[in-house]
Amino acid sequence: MTEPLKHPLGLTDIHATSNSQQWFSRAKQVLAGGISSSARASTTGSLPYPLYIERGAGAHIWDVDGHEFVDYLLSYGAALLGHADSGLCTAVQRQLSRGTMFGTCNTVEVELAEQICAMVPGADLVRYANSGSEAISGAIRAARGFTGRNRILKFEGHYHGWVDILAISNRPSVTEAGPLEHPNSSPHSRGIPAGVSQDVIIAPWNHKNIIEHLLNQHGDELAAMILEPIVANNACIMPEEGLLPWLREQCDKRGILLIYDEIVTGFRLARGGAAQYFGVTPDLTIFSKAIGGGFPISAFAGRQAVMEQIGTNAVKHGGTYNGNPLCAAAALYTLRTVNEPGTLEAIHAKGRMCMDGIARAAYDAKVPCVVQGVGSMFQVIFNDDGKPLKHYRDLWLVNTQRYAKFRQSLLMQGIHANSSGSACWFVSAAHTAEDIDYTVRAIAAAMKDVH
């Protein structure tokens, strides 16, 4: 029997997290909203302030009050190898002592690109950036430059970053969304010019008839169709059987480039990402998060003819920090590890044990829900019919209170998962059998608190 974690949070005692509370008070004086990203605006369950994490090792993290958690947020999936992985630290320290960046070409960026091209189907040429949003901007510009067209088809609820070009209909409300057959292009934020929304056509995921209708209407104006192959930002909604090959065909018929946003799925689903996992190759793919193992690096890669737009400088792409040897060294180490037989298989297997644990606990506690995703990334959705979600709008019908209670109960037991039920859980190479065993037992207890 595994020992319980040493410091269960015990949120019944508010003073148990007083250091986090104080840090948030300080933060609000100097950081807008007290935070560094809108995604962190959510509080910790019943606490009106976030937990401040000061240390991580393997699959565990510690907050500033000394509580220990098994981590399934994993910096939104970036920490694929876990926190402070020793091999990754060595690779980075080696580069650190040789200089972090020179603003010149460097050998590590070349080795990394070779590694990406060897692993990813359809990756003939690569360019780097520093965040997901930035790499998306590069890929979209390349697609527009290649096709000479402006408009982009995006799926409702799919998230492609915070920058203007695609921050449209990320999470529209019932009133913003418009009719299912013709969804509105609804800006995600104030400050996005109307022209941006006009260039983005919104379609409902997994609705072939409606997608086809929209393609018939707008097909010859579209430079690209972009999608999250598994919708990490909509509780891991899966593509229905046959959807991706069908989308590939539709794009080919109309001269539209197919772009996979693999910022979450890349190097996590399979060595070659979603293209390998689902057997359908896009024209362009965007990577971030797992590629850097926790370091800020992103990349976009794809078909020679399209990437040559950038190669010849017909389409401009720049960036001071692009391909810097420090982050490239982190990514190279991470990808070599991912490429080793068994690395991803083991992560998936551990994740599936958590998914099965949730399903079993829900069955025993008679709580209706569905667990969707694949082992290394998944989410539980507390809906009444227990059926897999088809598209974003299904999330409107979900019992969010239940996820909040489930997550809160887990947090009190030392399990740290995303506070949003619309996002997902991530599993790393560093989770041990003991971590998973402890998590499954905590899940069983948490499910009893969900009613």
Q: Which residues are catalytic?
A: 159, 261, 289
- Phi-psi bin for 294: left (phi > 0), alpha (psi -120 to 50), beta? left
Distances (CA, A) of 2 to 84, 335, 367, 438: 24, 32, 26, 7
Q: Work out how close the CB of 352 gets to ligand PMP at its nearest, in angstroms, rounded to a whole number.
A: 22
Q: Residue 80's closest CA among 295, 275, 299? A: 295
Q: 289: closest CA among 81, 118, 80, 39?
A: 80
Q: CB of residue 268 vs ligand PMP: minimum separation in angstroms?
A: 11
In 24-141 the beta strands, taken as DSSP E runs, fall at 53-57, 60-63, 68-71, 125-129
Euclidean distance between CA atoms 175 and 42, whole angstroms: 23
Q: How far is the CB of 91 from ligand PMP (least distance, A)?
A: 22
Helix (H, G, I), strand (E, B) or coil at 253: helix
Spatial strand order in the sheet of 60-63? 53-57, 60-63, 68-71, 415-416
Widest CA span in the chain: 63
Neighbours of 349 (CB within 10 A): 14
Q: Is the Cβ of residue 188 or residue 416 nearer to ligand PMP in the bound state?
A: 188
Kindly write down the DSSP assignment for every residue of 314-363, as one continuous string. Answer: SS----TTTT-HHHHHHHHHHHHHHHSTTHHHHHHHHHHHHHHHHHHHHH
Q: How far is the CB of 40 from ligand PMP (least distance, A)?
A: 11
Q: Which is nearer to ligand PMP, 133 or 285 (CB)?
A: 133
Q: d(Cα 272, Cα 294) in Å, to the nearest integer?
A: 19
Radius of gyration of the chain measured on its C-alpha atoms: 22
Q: Which is nearer to ligand PMP, 318 or 341 (CB)?
A: 318
- In the β-sheet with 377-381, what is the strand arrangement from edge to edge? 370-374, 377-381, 425-426
**Residue 115: burial class (beta carbons within 10 Å; 0-12, 13-18, 19+):** buried
**Cα–Cα distance, 314 to 178 (Å, whole number):** 38
Of 67 and 289, nearer to ligand PMP (C-beta) is 289
DSSP 300: E
**CB 226 to ligand PMP: min, Å:** 9
The conformation of residue 3, written as its DSSP 8-state character, comes to P
Residue nearest to ligand PMP as judged by C-beta position: 132
Distance CA 447, CA 380 (A): 11
Residue closer to ligand PMP, measured from CB, 353 or 423: 423
Shortest distance (Å) from residue 132 CB to ligand PMP: 2
Cβ neighbour number for residue 421 with a 10 Å cutoff: 22
Q: How far is the CB of 202 from ligand PMP (least distance, A)?
A: 16
159 versus 300: smaller Cβ distance to ligand PMP: 159
Query: How is residue 130 written in tokens?
Result: 């520093």
Binding site for ligand PMP (CB under 6 A): 76, 131-133, 159-161, 228, 232-233, 261, 263-264, 288
Phi, psi values for residue 177, rounded to 5°:
-70, -30
Shortest separation between residue 78's beta carbon and ligand PMP, angstroms: 9
| Least spacing, CB of residue 290 vs ligand PMP, in Å | 11
Q: Which amino acid is at 356?
A: D
Nearer to ligand PMP, 128 or 159 (CB): 159
- Of the pair 263, 344, the CB lying nearest ligand PMP is at 263
Our CB check for ligand PMP shows the closer of 53 and 361 to be 53
